[in-house]
């Protein structure tokens, strides 16, 4: 029976020693990397500070250079949108007048010569043309 205990001790030593060595090696490697990261942290902080400062300077230069231009373009867009709204309202009112003219004078030469670009916006039938049901 003693030989079984000796065998168990030998197998445990055979497996345990490499496992302990591997564990010690991994711990040492992790500690080395951790130490390296801790020692390089101030360098990275300084680098990030420089990057942030440069970004701030670049943003300020862009605002100085393009700020007025952006405001001018924004104002122009606003004016164009207001103009477009006015023209759209006028166009819709004009189409309504043309539609009334078409209903009142369906055989007039002006009605027949209505441009196709406008004709497609006119109603396709008139209320008086609706079939009696």
Q: For residue 19, give both structure tokens.
A: 């496992």
101 in Cβ contact with 111 (< 8 Å): yes
Q: Residue 13 and residue 70: Cα distance in Å, rounded?
A: 76
Nearest alpha-carbon partner for 110 in 121, 101, 120:
101
DSSP 128: G
Report pLDDT digits (tens) over 78-88.
999 999 999 99
| 38-48 residue pLDDT tens | 777 788 888 89
pTM for this model (two decimals): 0.45
Residue 133 has pLDDT above 50, yes or no: no
pLDDT number for residue 49: 93
- Could you tell me if residue 132 is left (phi over 0), alpha (psi between -120 and 50 degrees) or otherwise beta? beta
Cα-only R_g, the chain: 43
Q: What phi and psi values does residue 102 have, to the nearest 5 degrees?
A: -60, -40
């Amino acid at each position: 029976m003693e030989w079984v205990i000796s065998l168990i001790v030998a197998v445990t030593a055979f497996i345990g020693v490499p496992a302990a060595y591997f564990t010690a090696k991994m711990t040492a490697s992790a500690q080395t990397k951790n130490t390296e990261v801790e020692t390089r942290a101030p360098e990275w902080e300084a680098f990030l500070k420089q990057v942030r400062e440069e970004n701030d300077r670049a943003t300020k230069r862009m605002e100085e250079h393009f700020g007025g231009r952006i405001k001018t373009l924004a104002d122009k867009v606003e004016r164009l949108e207001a103009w477009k709204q006015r023209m759209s309202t006028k166009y819709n009112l004009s189409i309504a007048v043309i539609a009334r003219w078409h209903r009142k004078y369906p055989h007039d030469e002006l009605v027949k010569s209505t441009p196709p670009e406008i004709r497609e916006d006119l109603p396709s039938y008139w209320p008086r043309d609706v079939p009696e049901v």
